[in-house]
Structure 1
């Protein structure tokens, strides 16, 4: 059994990937350190990132993370090259070849920005655009058939990486035109040595005592009503938050920050009266996928001391082939590889990333089944059939988690940034005198920083500012807003 003890915290959302490198976070104290089941990296840690600014203000980052040099690095939002890349038959791939194909793939990703303001696009999705361009470039490839097959397999692994970044099952589901609206901030992505909870703890400490109530799952938000509270005789409230245990909280305003996945699954019963049709349609259209982590604990490392990320390439895969093998037999082929976590005393941990339907299928398996499958994967890619099995496994299960139903949002084919703005629009909208009963925040409501913790934080500040402006238009803003 793993030595991990249960300890959970819920915070904002973020893209899960980025080892150069939003979803609720869940942290497990482990081996004298912390593993993050949810949000982990600060993406784009620089002056324009409020999460980075708060972390720096609270003294939660090291000298390297705070350095001017780190803040100026332009990654374009792309994942850095792996330390090593292994194939499913145990071969090592030259880093020169990996770099060549990474340049091709991420160069094409950058080209997608050209369609942001285009009147029409050649294809609906990012995935179709990438495949169309790769097919054309293949004509100039030299080398034998085996080399070309390997190149396609490596490119397929980059597709899988991008699925993790975007939180989607397939890049064919991600809309091409709006894809360039997402803004990647400068800065070399970094982590909290003691976990994201250090940040949320400091934010919580700044609030008055007993401001936050835990373990009160909400059953229904009643709005556009007239509710009374004994503590405030003669006053009526337009909103009533009804909890599953029967407790009720009347309010003038409610800021709804539940994940988009929860809204997709429960919006029809979560609000009374129901949401307007246009907001329901926006919830339906915006994409929301699953990206999970699988932690494997080892007694001894089998990787090199300076290794940071081991990428896995399945040689029988290609982004140009739409094969649909059964999830039972092939779910692990969506695994992009393993990030090497800092060693905790004598314990060594790899963190695997997997997105999409394969990730959701993984959640239905037992720990023992996941451990057995990944042990076989590692023995294959290392070429060592005697490789010791991991000591234990720990994994996230965001799709089956009751209050998340997935990881974070993306702009799906058939949707655009206007849908994100519509999701963020307060209710009701028909009568200005009764506006601002329900406000909406969370990563899925930020048009250019969706899927990130900083997008979630900024969306919360946005709605707080909206209420401040309603109650006191003269109040000074405590910090600049982006």
Structure 2
């Protein structure tokens, strides 16, 4: 009889263990953390989401009979990319053929330069980018390193493509590389990007531009919740999400192991949990960390929050009745604009300076009559503050200027506003020069805060919190799983 009593006592004790978790944010990190926790028997899970939708910086919206992505769009890499690895056997990815089809370069005076020559220079610029990203001896900013290598090649004549080349073209291609890096890294200036820290990042191997075709990046949530490929294995994460819950404070106590964290929301509601996983963007942390956490976060974590980079990038989708960019017998993937100095001054005088941040207008997989622009640089605020009508007018002015002909206006235009959205305040992280100089970075950003018995009460996840693939969507999945595993291990 005493054995039965002990068994029931053990069961009661096990059932009484408080394993409550609150996840802040329903982006891919929060969603991934919830999936792993629920799969491992953690049923007391709540996800508090400030927006009126699930997804975070994955924002897939319906368009025609498909979907387009205002946020994350491509699955970058295959081998080593956890998103691709969990989905590719059950999903037929498309691709944007940037590696297969050369860009079409256009001059702002309406002429078309020698495409073979320009693409040879473009390829060389890409090789310099790759050299910096994979090198381990560079110091200083990405911009300084690129200019030093590029100018050195031009000066010493080590590449035949620069032989007797017009200095104007040499200069424009350097500026084009800067625009590309500014957009790629979501930065205002490539002089703020640390070459040394870039080289520490890894790249998932294989195609970098796998597309979700007309399904959109939201498809990944069906795989994370296991609705795909087998609906019978579905983990009900959505019922755990509470929308329009903007968190204003997280009060935690590291001294009393029995204390719960208290989470307060803007609507006055409050929640308690043994563990909190914080997944909002680094931009949110930068602006609100002082008011968000009681007590204040550790000094080194705060320093990393302040100094590690978080930038903005913008997108424009333009759909036309027909594709004016397709010419008979010529493959097309993107237009890249080369600005003459006189035309850049015209752009500035006409309050169109945001356009100088556009890296390219390119095709959108499965949408044959649509072009998409991607932009970074110092004028994102101007872009986001511009009306839809102004964006359309500016784009059409540029198209007609570079192509030298009158064109029909688009029938639809959609633009992004990641920087001015208070729940994001930007697009993604980058390794800054300030962080390199201070010797702080992802390790400090990602470090959990433990109570006095060494168990985590406050954990951090998100694309900025992964040392291997920072800034990438698959980093969000990895860090969400990591935070969940850290909690799960306590109770095993």
Q: Tell me, yes or no, if the aligned pair for 1:253 and 1:437 is still in contact at 8 Å.
A: yes
Task: Note the aligned Cα RMSD (angstroms).
Answer: 2.9
Q: Tell me, yes or no, if the aligned pair for 2:455 and 2:490 is still in contact at 8 Å.
A: no
Q: Tell me, yes or no, if the aligned pair for 1:28 and 1:34 is still in contact at 8 Å.
A: yes
Distance 1:326 1:279, change over 3 A: farther
In structure 1, what is the equivalent of residue 3 of structure 2?
none
Counterpart pick for 1:273 among 291, 295, 298: 295
- Residues 12-34 of structure 1 deviation map (CA, whole Å, 9 limit, x = unaligned): 69xxxxxxxx9711122112121
In structure 2, what is the equivalent of residue 477 of structure 1?
none
* TM-score calculated relative to the size of structure 2: 0.79
* Partner Cα distance (1:225, 1:219) in 2: 20
* TM-score calculated relative to the size of structure 1: 0.80
**Alignment of structure 1 residues 44-443 onto 2, 5 Å:** 44-46=77-79, 48-57=80-89, 59-62=90-93, 82-113=102-133, 116=136, 118=137, 121=138, 124-139=140-155, 140=157, 141-143=162-164, 147-188=166-207, 189-193=209-213, 194-204=215-225, 205=227, 206-208=234-236, 210-224=239-253, 236-304=258-326, 306-316=331-341, 328-342=351-365, 344=367, 348-384=369-405, 386-416=406-436, 418-428=440-450, 432-443=452-463
Q: Structure 1: where are the runs of 5+ without partners?
A: 1-8, 14-21, 228-234, 473-482
* Partner Cα distance (1:426, 1:420) in 2: 12
Q: Structure 2: where are the runs of 5+ without partners?
A: 1-25, 31-54, 228-233
Aligned to 2:290, what secondary structure does the other structure show?
helix
Q: Tell me, yes or no, if the aligned pair for 2:255 and 2:452 is still in contact at 8 Å.
A: no
Aligned to 1:224, what secondary structure does the other structure show?
coil
Q: Tell me, yes or no, if the aligned pair for 1:23 and 1:452 is still in contact at 8 Å.
A: no
* Partner Cα distance (1:106, 1:23) in 2: 31
Give the stretch that moved more between structures: 397-406 or 306-315. 306-315
* Partner Cα distance (2:187, 2:307) in 1: 14
The answer on 1:31 being equivalent to 2:64 is: yes
In structure 2, what is the equivalent of residue 19 of structure 1?
none
* Partner Cα distance (1:327, 1:92) in 2: 24
CA drift at 1:388: 1.2
CA drift at 1:418: 4.8
* Partner Cα distance (1:452, 1:314) in 2: 30
* Partner Cα distance (1:364, 1:419) in 2: 31
The answer on 1:470 being equivalent to 2:470 is: no
- Residues 63-109 of structure 1 deviation map (CA, whole Å, 9 limit, x = unaligned): x77xxxx9xxxx9xx97764311121222233322332123212222
CA drift at 1:410: 0.6
Distance 1:453 1:79, change over 3 A: farther
How many residues of Structure 1 are paired with residues of Structure 2 in the alignment?
Answer: 421
